[in-house]
Amino acid sequence: MNELVRKFLETAAADAFPRNARFGSVEADGYLRGRRARPRATRTRTSVGEVLELSTDEGVPVRVYVPAGDGKSHPLVVYFHGGGWVMGDLEMHDSTCRTIAAGAQAVVVNVDYRLAPENPFPAPLDDCFDATRWAMANAASWGADGARTLIGGTSAGGNLAAAVAIRRRDIGATPLAGLLLLYPVLDCRMATRSYAEKAEGYFLTAAEMRFFWDAYVQDGRDRAHPWLSPGLVEDVSGLPPTLVVTAEHDPLRDEGNAFARRLAERSSLVGLIEAPGQIHGFLTAFPDSAAAREGMHAVISAVRKLTEPTSVTTE
User: Strand, coil or helix: what is 111?
Assistant: strand
Q: What DSSP state is assigned to residue 284?
A: G
Higher-confidence position of 71 and 275: 275
Higher-confidence position of 311 and 178: 178
Superfamily of domain covering 3-306: Alpha/Beta hydrolase fold, catalytic domain (3.40.50.1820)
Please state, in angstroms and as integers, the Cα–Cα distance from residue 181 to each residue in 75, 198, 205, 239, 269, following that order.
Answer: 18, 20, 20, 13, 11
pLDDT over 70 at 283, yes or no: yes
Domain ranges for the chain: 3-306
User: Strand, coil or helix: what is 107?
Assistant: strand
Residue 110 banded pLDDT, cuts 50, 70, 90 = very high
In terms of phi and psi (left: phi > 0; alpha: psi -120 to 50; beta: otherwise), the region of 24 is: left
Confidence (pLDDT) at 263:
97
- Residues annotated as catalytic (active site), given as ranges: 155, 250, 280
In terms of phi and psi (left: phi > 0; alpha: psi -120 to 50; beta: otherwise), the region of 210 is: alpha
Instruction: Convert the pLDDT of each residue in 49-58 to its tens digit.
Output: 899 999 999 9
Contacts with 58 (C-beta within 8 Å, 6 or more apart), sequence order:
127, 130, 131, 134
Residue 313 banded pLDDT, cuts 50, 70, 90 = very low
Say if residues 162 and 169 touch (Cβ distance below 8 Å).
no
Rounded-to-integer distance, Cα 22 and Cα 210, Å: 8
The string of DSSP letters for 116-148 reads TTTS-TTHHHHHHHHHHHHHHHHGGGGTEEEEE
Instruction: Convert the pLDDT of each residue in 150-195 to its tens digit.
Output: 999 999 999 999 999 999 999 999 999 999 999 999 999 999 999 9
Residue 42 burial (CB count, 10 A): 8
Q: Which of 26-30, 204-208, 278-282 has the lowest mean pLDDT?
A: 26-30
Instruction: Convert the pLDDT of each residue in 221-252 to its tens digit.
Output: 999 999 999 999 999 999 999 999 999 999 99
Instruction: Convert the pLDDT of each residue in 10-49 to its tens digit.
Output: 777 767 888 778 888 888 899 899 988 887 655 667 888 8
Percent of the chain with pLDDT over 70: 96
Q: Which of 76-80, 138-142, 201-205, 223-227 has the lowest mean pLDDT?
A: 201-205
Say if residues 85 and 216 touch (Cβ distance below 8 Å).
yes
Please state, in angstroms and as integers, the Cα–Cα distance from residue 298 to each residue in 96, 158, 184, 238, following that order.
Answer: 13, 16, 16, 23
Report which of 251, 211, 216 is spatially closest to residue 32, judged by C-alpha positions: 211
